[in-house]
Structure 1
Amino acid sequence: MKRYIGGIELPDVKRQKVGLRERKKIKTRAAIQQNAIRLFREQGYQATTVEQIAEAAEISPSTFFRYFATKEAVVLEDDYDPFLIETYRKQPPELSPIQALRNAVREGYSLIPAEERSGIWERVSMAMSIPELRAAVIQQITRTGEMVADIIAERLGCSPGELKIRVLAGAFLGVVISTQMYYIEHPEREFIDILDEALALLEAGFQQ
């Protein structure tokens, strides 16, 4: 049975077997992102076209648009939010929303293969530094905030529109964004350790 929250289909994170067709899709999507990021780095975001990305990834432009709706989506989109949702929902009910988020973030991060993390951080750095992406970044933050509000509200049995829920979701997003910026400046540290430390500060603040 498929489950959705905030319009996102939740995958079964326990599923180990992936069919050949799905593996090909994952490989193609990764190739598009890797080649796009390389081209953005080499010749600039604005100067790079979808046609150039498609050629580098050895696909057609129409295939590109089956995986990404826009050029900016190559930088901004990933497949990990649903895993955060699923791991959050599995946290013990006695945990506070922030405690549950801390656990879910660490568990979700552990699901990301180590070889993919450097690519993720290059995309994060680009998203924060490319002026043409700023409007899309704001839209993405808004969508993520709605997703976080949904899962917190679900946990507490109340409406996502309540002030407390919006404050909690907004505070969590603020911590994540601040941590990302800090990590870009301090790559010698592990991102997940910085984020866990920051969420601990947030949790302590809400308890005062």
Structure 2
Amino acid sequence: MSEPVPSQSLRERKKVHTRLAIRREAFRLFEKHGYSNTTIEQIAHAADVSPRTFYRYFGVKEALLLSDDQISPIVEAFVAAPSEMTIVEAYAFAVGKVFGGLTLEQREDAIAGQRMLYDTPEACGMLYTAYVRMIDLITEALTERTDAPAEEAERRVIASAIVGVLIGASHNTPLPEAALQSALKILGRRLS
């Protein structure tokens, strides 16, 4: 979850707080009644928003479990990583920077959402979609690196390998920082 920062407008800070409130109430209701037995209307009511507001923030109930609040910052940190790093080192650097910068509240929220995601069969399709999106984003981000291949197909293979490592390290393990860093080191050694 993004923490509101002083430079954000009141409107942006309100959006961050509303999104977090909706997720918190949803998680509370999922724990109490189960994912399948909790309706969007119940979540909206508990978060003191309308169902329409819920849909504006999340679109579908499954999206509550799949927080992509770390995806864009990781890709941005990957692009901004020092150029002397290899591609895999740059990705590991980005993951470390973003995960390391999470507040306790953000970390707890991400872990709760990911735990429920792994335990909710209805959400598996969204997880697959998120991984494919991550491959697309890394493939595109590689165009910013001078050491990346010029051919899109080659960049996509590298991106897919990185996301494959992410899938392997993440399965049933929310925020797998140490396991992911270790797995990325192995991938980096094998690609060199």
Range of TM-score over shorter length: 0.7 to 0.9
Cα distance in 1, alignment partners of residues 45 and 92 from structure 2? 41
Shift of the alpha carbon at 1:25?
0.9
- Does the 8 Å CA contact 1:84/1:105 hold for their aligned counterparts? yes
Deviation at 1:129, TM superposition (A): 2.0
The match for 2:142 among 152, 175, 183 is 152
Quick one: higher RCO (CA 8 Å, sep 6+), 1 or 2? 2
Which segments of 5 or more consecutive residues in structure 1 lack a partner in the other structure? 1-14, 185-189
Structure 2 SS opposite 1:132? helix
Q: Which runs of 4+ in 1 moved over 6 A?
A: none
Measure the CA separation in 1 of the matches of 2:13 and 2:86: 37
Alignment of 1:24 with 2:14, yes or no, is: yes
CA displacement at 1:153 relative to structure 2: 3.5
- Residue 80 of structure 2: aligned partner: 90
Shift in Å, 1:146: 0.9
Alignment-derived partner of residue 194 in structure 1: 179
Question: Aligned partners of 2:180, 2:11: CA distance in 1, in Å?
Answer: 35
Instruction: Specify the SS of the correspondent of 1:67.
Output: helix
Residue segments in structure 2 that go unaligned for 5+ positions in a row: none
Note the C-alpha offset of 1:114: 2.1
Structural mapping, 1:25-44, within 5 Å: 25-44=15-34
Contact persistence 2:29–2:43 (CA under 8 A): yes
Answer yes or no: is the 8 Å Cα contact 2:79–2:141 preserved in 1.
yes
Q: Shift of residue 81 of structure 1?
A: 1.5
Q: Distance in 1 between matches of 2:57 and 2:79?
A: 28
Q: CA deviation at 1:182?
A: 6.3
Deviations 1:84-107 (A, max 9, x none): 122111112222110110111111
What is the CA distance between 1:58 and its match in structure 2?
0.7
How many Å separate the matches in 2 of 1:129 and 1:104? 27
Counterpart in 2 of 1:169? 159
For residues 182 and 124 of structure 1, the distance between their equivalents in structure 2, rounded to whole angstroms, comes to 8
Q: Residue type of the partner of 1:96?
A: T
Cα separation, 1, equivalents of 2:20 and 2:62:
15
Letter in 2 for 1:41: E
- What is the TM-score of this pair, normalised by structure 2? 0.88
Number of aligned residue pairs = 186
- Percent sequence identity over aligned pairs: 33
TM-score by length of 1: 0.82
Q: Which amino acid aligns with 1:130?
A: T
Deviation at 1:196? 1.2
What is the aligned-residue RMSD (CA, Å)? 1.9
Decide which of 109, 116, 119 is 1:129's aligned counterpart.
119
